[in-house]
Amino acid sequence: MNKDQFAGRIKQVAGRVKALAGKTVGNSRLQREGRAAQHSGVVQAAFGDAKHATQTRIKTLMRRIRVQS
């Protein structure tokens, strides 16, 4: 797990908590901020997932190149 995956998933959870707190106390601004943080976390985690997949694929290709040499 890379730092973007980790940070993104933390933002998702924090955003959910913030949105729920906003809903509980009736604060629509807090709810919106929480949903925004949650969506930001989804995007960051997806970027981290893509980065991890790319790194894994490159490592696999490099191993294949070494084996064929």
pTM: 0.86
Exposure letters 25-56 (e unless 16+ CB within 10 A, then b)? eeeeebbeebeebbeebeebbeebeeeeeeee
At residue 61, φ and ψ (nearest 5 deg) are: -65, -40
Query: Which residue type does 48 have?
Result: G
Question: For 7-66, how does the pLDDT look when each residue is reduced to its tens digit (9 = 90+)?
Answer: 999 999 999 999 999 999 999 999 999 999 999 999 999 999 999 999 999 999 999 999
Placement of tokens 């980065």 in the chain: 51
